[in-house]
Amino acid sequence: MLPANREAKLKYKDVAKIMGRRVLVEGVYHRDSCSESGHKRSHSWYASKRNPRSGWVTGVTWLLSGEVVHYWDEPNEFKETGARLQCLRVVFWPNRKEVKVPLDMCKLQEEHEEPLPHDDSYKWSDRDREMAREEAKLFKRDEKGRFLSEFVETNKKAAHG
């Protein structure tokens, strides 16, 4: 259902079928902007690989490459100089920002497939946990066990005498 290359385009009926479906994301688009002069700014998009991760399709959009010319007293003007790229908008978690995914860098997942973990944060080792515990012991705490900052302590001393 997804095109095999970036030049192929999704039709509206295909977009309606994949909305809300899980996909395996293997790459994302990033915008490369550079200012050429005071009034011009060029935009271009490049794809980069990433670790495979599951996400939900929230839409389809077009990415435009070109120049934006800013004027003081007129509306901004956009001159299209590069390719128009169609991509999927995918979120990895409902409250996270969406990413733009090239059509050839994602695969639809079947309903029965187990999704990949959504948490791509650092995995703590036992050594890391022990170092964090030792570091936490260095900070002062109040009678309820809450951490005290030096700023709060010095302000309390200054206010009380």
Per-residue model confidence as pLDDT tens digits over 60-72: 998 887 777 766 6
Looking at the structure, tell me whether residues 84 and 25 fall in a common domain: yes
Which amino acid is it at 90?
V
pLDDT in tens, 44-103: 888 889 888 889 999 999 888 777 776 666 666 666 677 788 899 999 888 889 999 999
Looking at the structure, tell me whether residues 23 and 55 fall in a common domain: yes
- Domain membership of residue 42 (yes or no) is yes
Contact between residue 90 and residue 55 where contact means Cβ atoms under 8 Å apart:
yes
Looking at the structure, tell me whether residues 55 and 86 fall in a common domain: yes
- Domain membership of residue 121 (yes or no) is no
- Domain membership of residue 22 (yes or no) is yes
Looking at the structure, tell me whether residues 77 and 44 fall in a common domain: yes
The predicted pLDDT at position 67 comes to 74
Q: Is beta strand 40-69 parallel, antiparallel or unpaired with respect to 99-102?
A: unpaired
Side-chain half-sphere of 140: how many Cα atoms within 13 Å?
8
Looking at the structure, tell me whether residues 104 and 130 fall in a common domain: no
More confident residue, 155 or 149: 149
Looking at the structure, tell me whether residues 131 and 96 fall in a common domain: no
Cβ burial 142-155 (10 Å sphere, 16+ → b, else e): eeeeeeeeeeeeee
Q: Distance between alpha carbon 129 and the CA centroid of its chain, in Å?
A: 28
The number of distinct structural domains making up the chain is 2
Task: Give the separation between CA 154 and CA 161, rounded to whole angstroms.
Answer: 11
More confident residue, 65 or 18: 18
Q: What range defines the domain where residue 85 resides?
A: 12-108
Give pTM, 2 decimals. 0.61
Checking if the pLDDT of 28 tops 70, the result is yes
Looking at the structure, tell me whether residues 29 and 87 fall in a common domain: yes
